[in-house]
Structure 1
Amino acid sequence: MNNSEQRTAPLYEALLEFRKRRVVPFDVPGHKRGRGNPELLDFLGEKCVGVDVNSMKMLDNLGHPVSVIRDAEELLADAFGASHAFMMVNGTTSAVQAMVLSVVREGDEILLPRNVHKSVINALVLCGGIPVYIPVRVDHKIGIATGMAIKDVEKAIREHPKAVAIFVNNPTYYGIASDLKGIVELAHGAGMKVLVDEAHGTHLYFGDNLPVSAMAAGGDLAAVSMHKSGGSLTQSSILLCGPSADAEYIRQIINLTQTTSASYLLMASLDLSRRNLALNGREAFDRVSQMAEYAREEINELGGYYAYGRELIDGESVFDFDVTKLSVFTQGIGLTGIEVYDLLRDEYDIQIEFGDIGNILAYISIGDRIQDIERLVGALEDIQRQYGRPKKELYCGEFIEPELVMTPKEAFYAEGEQLPLEETVGRISGEILMCYPPGIPILTPGERITEEIIAYIEYAREKGCSLQGTKDPDCRELRVLGQS
């Protein structure tokens, strides 16, 4: 990485120059630097609204960059150790879907863990790919899915030699990392591409004592949420390419679905965040790791809670652990994660990332302060004292692996009927149903519905999980297909 070059921010600098020129706008957007919408101008400020502009010669075009955006993408690639990088303004969802759509075609098999984000399944609905699920191990003590063990990956490759790719979470929402280097070696040896979801892994490129990044491990494509731990604006993301990727073809795939009116606010935030991480990222994420480890120690001293970390590493399904993820098992105080999540928000004005049946996740990154950590630990202690109940075994059915009967595309587009959930047992789902966050499907199109799945959905609803994905906004009905 050339630090002198990384000190520049070409797109941001072009926007500063544009602002100085006081160009008279007879193009879109129609608010005309905010003059047409005074409330918006007052809310966001002139500096922000004044650079909410359209593509033009001096500012380049994201769909076909030839100047400042191209330069900004080259700096991104350099900072992340990639052969090429794309700025993405439709979120990491669009980066994940571009990865899948660039490799998987109708009828192709792709190997993947069941605990992928819904964007992967939605990409298979679009392209007609066939998911082949590699078993995900489960840590029953804390109720989380872990990673893919190498021997399970080997078995899947052996049984599905025609699969075109393998999809890997690096890391999972909870911080679990599989043996990515080992998976890359196996997949490439079998002629398969490796697609890596690094929605929660921006910092892996700039931190020590963290799991290996996709590009360092030799992955072919990686979707990276810069806005999650990298400091850019929400909805901005990047797609990284390894040496084997055909970057111009991938740009064509991206342009199938990405907006032609790319936000310069989002792109400038990527440019500035890349510069910040390239120059200061190692120091910043070392501080993040220290804060997370401190919080882990403090929470574990409270008793009842379990803030887990590197002790989970077993060399197999937990090959490594991302210590910046402050994941806490809450059932030891008799409360589900979603109950603790709600209490933190409603009673203590603390918004954490998510709560599920057994755990909460507090996302710690470059903008956090030690006093905020102290406030979180104090709130958890107070919750335990005021709301804690005797420890009991709470139902945890999140890792049911449904039978896949049809491809996601076939099921999604098939004619079906709308039925109450309790009447769908034995039928095939035509929709996706999930708890959000984290957005991992409970059911995907093409999977058979069982009594166990219905019981888990209702339990999740009772505990306050946000169920999403179905045509019915209350997720009390499901579009289903025939018996087989």
Structure 2
Amino acid sequence: MDKFLQEKAPIFEALKRYKSNRIVRFDVPGHKGGRGNRELTNFLGQDCLTVDVNSMKPLDNLSHPTSVIKEAEKIASEAFGSKNTFFIVNGTTAAVQAMIMSTCKTGDKIIMPRNVHRSAINALIISGAIPVYVNPGVDKKLGISLGMPLSHVKEAILKNKDAKAVLVNNPTYYGICSNLDKIVEMAHENNMLVLVDEAHGTHFYFGDDMPISAMEANADMAAVSMHKTGGSLTQSSFLLCGKNVNSNYVRQIINLTQTTSASYLLLASLDLARKNLSLNGNDIFKRTMDLAQYAREEINNLGGYYAFSKEIIDGDKVFDFDETKLSIHTLDIGLAGIEVYDILRDEYGIQIEFGDIGNILAIISAGDRILEIERLISALSEIKRLYEKDKIGMLESEYIDPEVVLPPQRAFYGSKKPISIDNSLGGISAEFIMAYPPGIPILAPGERITRNVLDYIYYAKEKGSLLTGTQDMKIENIYVLEG
């Protein structure tokens, strides 16, 4: 990596030049550098509002970059080892959807794990692509879905030779990685592209002793959520493309849905986050790993909790593990993960990433301090002392094998009617139901509503999970297909 090149931040530098020129503003945004909305300016700061600007020649245009954004894309490509890189300001959702929509058209098959983020299934609804689901492995003790077993991926490829691509999570929300290197090899041997959802894997490109990254594994595209572990502003991401991808076509696909009024705050944050990681990533993620490992050891010493790590690697369903993830199993103290999540926030002022049926996830970064880690450990100890109970009757698994009846697009746009969830058993869903976060659907359009699905929904609601996806905001009714 060229250190001199990585020290540059073209978008950020262009914004500084623009600001110093004291341009008279007769363009949007209408707050005119903050003067038109003083309360907002006082809240976010004058420096922020003065660089919240519109596209113009000196600042380039994200939809068709020819100068500073184009240069920033090239520098990011060198940092990530990709052939081309796109700045995404509609969130990693837009990057995941662009991967699928630039690869698959109506009726094309794509092989993917069922524990994908909602954004991937949304892309199927928009594009009309047909999913070939590979059920992930399941750890019955932890109650979590794992990676895709190689034998299952191979079977799906051989049975669906006409599939256009394989999509892989690298890692899952819990930090679990599939054998990406081998999956890429198998897919390419069968003329399929490999698309990688790396929403939680930014650090794989910059830290030592990390699981393999998508570009290192020679995958074809990767959606990288820089704002999650890379230090950029929320909603900013990169879409990386390898040598087998027509990046000019990918840009056209991105421009179908991405805003034409790109936020320069988001663009500059991506530029500066990439610079910071390129120059300091090893140190940043070593500290992150050390903090996570310390927290794991101390939490496991409390008893009752299980902060899992590389010991769950089995060489297949768990091919590797991201040690920066602080994933903690809670069922053995008689509390669902979402219950621990709520107690931490409401009674201890600690906001973690999410809680599900059996686990919680705390995101650790170099921005954390040991004092805050100690506070989390202390709170978990007290929660165990105050709230521990028998685990009898608790639901233990968060993954349910889906019964897929129709492609998502046909179900979503099909003739449908609302019905009480209580009376929906056996129906074919035309909507999503998911807990957010993590945003992995419990039920997706085109899937049959089974007893296991209903039991999970009732249990999640009882425990306090935030369920989303149906038109009915109370999640009491659901649209099912007629007939």
Q: Which residue of 2 aligns with 1:378?
A: 378
Instruction: String of CA shifts for 1:167-226, please: whole Å, max 9, x gaps.
Output: 000000000000000000000001100000000000000112211000000100000000
Q: Which residue of 2 aligns with 1:226?
A: 226
Q: Distance in 2 between matches of 1:474 and 1:352?
A: 24
Q: Which residue of 1 aligns with 2:477?
A: 477
Q: Which residue of 2 aligns with 1:274?
A: 274
Q: Which residue of 2 aligns with 1:315?
A: 315
SS at match of 2:162: coil
Q: Which residue of 1 aligns with 2:166?
A: 166
Instruction: String of CA shifts for 1:63-118, please: whole Å, max 9, x gaps.
Output: 00000001111111111111111000000000000000000110011101110000
Give the letter for the 1:421 counterpart: I
Instruction: String of CA shifts for 1:340-398, please: whole Å, max 9, x gaps.
Output: 00010001100000000000000011311111111111110111111111343521343
Residues 229 and 366 in structure 1, CA contact (< 8 A), matched pair in contact too: no
Q: Distance in 2 between matches of 1:185 and 1:22?
A: 54
Give the letter for the 2:445 counterpart: P
Give the letter for the 1:423 counterpart: N
TM-score (norm 1): 0.99
Residues 33 and 51 in structure 1, CA contact (< 8 A), matched pair in contact too: yes
Q: Distance in 1 between matches of 2:470 and 2:308?
A: 33
Residues 167 and 196 in structure 1, CA contact (< 8 A), matched pair in contact too: yes
Residues 328 and 361 in structure 2, CA contact (< 8 A), matched pair in contact too: yes
Q: Which residue of 2 aligns with 1:151?
A: 151
- 1:405 CA drift (Å): 1.1
Q: Which residue of 1 aligns with 2:45?
A: 45
* Sequence identity (%): 59
* Within-5 A mapping of 1:223-302: 223-302=223-302
Instruction: Pick which of 43-52 and 399-408 moved more.
Output: 399-408
Q: Which residue of 2 aligns with 1:140?
A: 140
Residues 231 and 366 in structure 1, CA contact (< 8 A), matched pair in contact too: no
Q: Which residue of 2 aligns with 1:28?
A: 28
Aligned residues: 483
Residues 107 and 130 in structure 2, CA contact (< 8 A), matched pair in contact too: yes
SS at match of 2:132: strand
Residues 307 and 329 in structure 2, CA contact (< 8 A), matched pair in contact too: yes
Q: Which runs of 4+ in 1 moved over 2 A?
A: 390-393
1:202 aligns with 2:206: no
Q: Distance in 1 between matches of 2:366 and 2:227?
A: 11
Instruction: String of CA shifts for 1:380-426, please: whole Å, max 9, x gaps.
Output: 01111111113435213432222111111111111110000011111
Q: Distance in 1 between matches of 2:390 and 2:445?
A: 39
Q: Distance in 1 between matches of 2:344 and 2:72?
A: 40
Q: Which residue of 2 aligns with 1:456?
A: 456
* Within-5 A mapping of 1:74-85: 74-85=74-85
Residues 436 and 468 in structure 2, CA contact (< 8 A), matched pair in contact too: yes
Q: Distance in 2 between matches of 1:108 and 1:414?
A: 19
Q: Distance in 2 between matches of 1:482 and 1:256?
A: 32
Give the letter for the 1:307 counterpart: A
Q: Which residue of 2 aligns with 1:389?
A: 389
Q: Distance in 2 between matches of 1:106 and 1:457?
A: 31
- 1:450 CA drift (Å): 1.1
Q: Distance in 2 between matches of 1:281 and 1:398?
A: 34
SS at match of 1:99: helix
Q: CA RMSD in A?
A: 0.8
SS at match of 1:17: helix
Give the letter for the 2:135 counterpart: P
Give the letter for the 1:465 counterpart: S
Q: Distance in 2 between matches of 1:277 and 1:402?
A: 39
Instruction: String of CA shifts for 1:123-167, please: whole Å, max 9, x gaps.
Output: 000000111111211000011000011111111111111111000
The gaps in structure 1 that reach 5 residues or longer are: none
Instruction: Pick which of 449-458 and 273-282 moved more.
Output: 449-458
SS at match of 1:304: coil
Residues 89 and 236 in structure 1, CA contact (< 8 A), matched pair in contact too: yes
Give the letter for the 1:454 counterpart: L
- 1:328 CA drift (Å): 0.1
Q: Distance in 2 between matches of 1:272 and 1:208?
A: 21
- 1:482 CA drift (Å): 3.2
SS at match of 1:85: strand
Instruction: String of CA shifts for 1:221-242, please: whole Å, max 9, x gaps.
Output: 0000000000000000000011
Residues 114 and 134 in structure 2, CA contact (< 8 A), matched pair in contact too: yes
* Within-5 A mapping of 1:375-454: 375-392=375-392, 394-454=394-454
SS at match of 1:418: strand
Residues 34 and 49 in structure 1, CA contact (< 8 A), matched pair in contact too: yes
Q: Which residue of 2 aligns with 1:214?
A: 214
SS at match of 1:156: helix
Q: Distance in 1 between matches of 2:75 and 2:388?
A: 50
Q: Which residue of 1 aligns with 2:185?
A: 185
Q: Distance in 2 between matches of 1:209 and 1:149?
A: 23
Residues 131 and 407 in structure 2, CA contact (< 8 A), matched pair in contact too: yes
SS at match of 2:216: helix
SS at match of 2:94: helix
Give the letter for the 1:46 counterpart: Q
1:10 aligns with 2:10: yes
TM-score (norm 2): 0.99
Residues 331 and 392 in structure 1, CA contact (< 8 A), matched pair in contact too: no
Q: Distance in 2 between matches of 1:330 and 1:402?
A: 25
Q: Which residue of 1 aligns with 2:329?
A: 329
SS at match of 1:217: coil
SS at match of 2:215: helix
Residues 338 and 355 in structure 2, CA contact (< 8 A), matched pair in contact too: yes
